[in-house]
Amino acid sequence: MNFAIAKDGILASRDAVADKIIEAFLHHGHKISQANNGISFILNLTDIASPRAGRRRSQSVFIVSLVSADSRENIRKVCYATLVRTLSNLLICTVSNSNGQDSSEVYFTTPEAGFYVLTADPEEIYERMLPIVGSHYAIENRFSMDLPERLWTMSSVVQKIRQYGKELDTLGVLPLPFPLKEVLTEDDMRHLYKIYGITGLSYGNLSARERVEELGNTTFWMTGRGVDKANISRVGKDVLLVKGFDYESGEALISVPRDFDQKARVSVDAVEHELIYRTFPDVGAIVHVHAWLENVLCTRQNYPCGTRELAQEVVALLRQTNCPERTAVGLKNHGLTITGPTLDDIFERIRGKLMTEVPMFA
């Protein structure tokens, strides 16, 4: 794996950690290269007071930003805001002690709201970074204006998604969308949309099967990327019909009406949902929430949402349960994927049982 380094100034606390991370990657056979030379990730050494946004040529390049803070006060909030401002897939933050010495801990923050603490051991940091920077996004959309006219405005399944999107809001498991436009420049917003098709950050999504014979055997409706799930209204914008997935190109195959919103994109979790529906024909609905349930099996790695690796690990985990078609599994430091025959069934099972605080662990 090749990686590049981008550096703002000299910061002793930050750079000491960076040197150890770089040494660990080199020790494991990875190489430093130029940003335009087939790299897998960029180590972005920047300043928490005025963070520089990381830039990549494609979504296949990950940005890992490394910063140093002077205090642990509001550290989780500060780290997440810095993650967003740097357009990063992962933020690593070290904190200096009051005597100016480096802390023995570092904080990891991910876009999925993961926030956990590791020792500053370079091997441990390397082991946690590798699954993230070595994974592969599958979040592109390929649109076809072939949605049957009878589905252009509504269907009974879309109505259910609207109903339960509102219920997720009342259950308190849909954190408010992060106000990207308040913290990013217009240029950064354009770059974010170009790379990821993202115009807003929000958690959670819903999907449900609807057999549309003209389009295939595994068609399902799913909420759009970054939309407010409590206010789903428009087919082709807030909710989209997925008719398949091209795993070679990493594209969800989307059927839309003629007047669809050309900035709309299906949730990045479409690759996971499509793989679940294709693997388990009796699954009729899937809900993903930033919440937790007791006694669930959990993924071992903190793979980013929208990657093939996360989709495959979730399916493997579902296979280990007694009833993959009607269960819940945990996504490490993120939330839950819940399957069922219908959305009605899923919500009957989770009402009053969801914990809004997701446990975090390294």
Mind listing the pLDDT tens digit of every residue in the chain (362 residues)? 999 999 999 988 899 999 999 999 999 999 999 877 789 999 999 999 999 998 888 888 999 999 999 888 889 989 988 998 899 999 999 987 655 555 678 999 998 878 999 888 999 999 999 999 999 999 999 999 999 999 999 999 999 999 999 999 888 887 666 666 777 788 887 877 676 666 666 678 999 999 999 998 899 999 999 888 989 999 999 999 999 999 999 999 999 999 999 999 999 999 999 999 999 999 999 999 989 999 999 999 889 999 999 999 999 999 999 999 999 999 999 999 999 999 999 999 999 999 988 888 87
In a domain, 357, yes or no: no
Range of the domain at 113: 2-133
Report yes or no: 29 and 48 within 8 Å, Cβ to Cβ: no
Quote the number of domains for the chain: 2
- Following DSSP, what letter does each residue of 147-185 receive, concatenated? --GGGSS--HHHHHHHHHHHHHHHHT-SPPPB-HHHHS-
Q: Which of 133, 150, 185 is the last residue of a domain?
A: 133
Q: Which of 112, 133, 154 is the last residue of a domain?
A: 133
The structure's pTM equals: 0.92
In a domain, 196, yes or no: yes
In a domain, 359, yes or no: no
145 and 73 within one domain: no
Name residue 61's amino acid.
Answer: V
In a domain, 360, yes or no: no
189: Cα separation from own chain's centroid = 17
In tens, the pLDDT along 73-110 reads 889 989 988 998 899 999 999 987 655 555 678 999 99
In a domain, 122, yes or no: yes
Q: Which of 117, 133, 149 is the last residue of a domain?
A: 133
127 and 169 within one domain: no
Residue 165: CATH number of its domain: 3.40.225.10
Tell which residue, 332, 331, 336, 333, has the closest CA to residue 350: 336
Q: Which residues contact 165 (CB under 8 A, 6 or more apart)?
A: 206, 223, 229, 230, 231, 232
Residue 38: CATH number of its domain: 3.40.50.10300
In tens, the pLDDT along 242-292 reads 999 999 999 999 999 999 999 999 999 999 999 999 999 999 999 999 899
239 and 181 within one domain: yes
Report yes or no: 1 and 134 within 8 Å, Cβ to Cβ: yes
Report yes or no: 207 and 239 within 8 Å, Cβ to Cβ: no
330 and 246 within one domain: yes
Report yes or no: 295 and 73 within 8 Å, Cβ to Cβ: no
180 and 85 within one domain: no
170 and 64 within one domain: no
In a domain, 219, yes or no: yes
224 and 122 within one domain: no
In a domain, 258, yes or no: yes
252 and 160 within one domain: yes
264 and 215 within one domain: yes
In a domain, 358, yes or no: no
Is residue 213 exposed (0-12), middle (13-18) or buried (19+ Cβ within 10 Å)? Answer: exposed
Report yes or no: 243 and 219 within 8 Å, Cβ to Cβ: yes
Long-range contacts of 320-324 (CB under 8 A, 24+ apart): 321/297, 324/279, 324/280, 324/283
Query: Strand 251-255 and strand 140-144: pairing?
Result: parallel
158 and 70 within one domain: no
Tell me the C-alpha distance between 226 and 341, whole Å.
Answer: 25
246 and 266 within one domain: yes
200 and 180 within one domain: yes
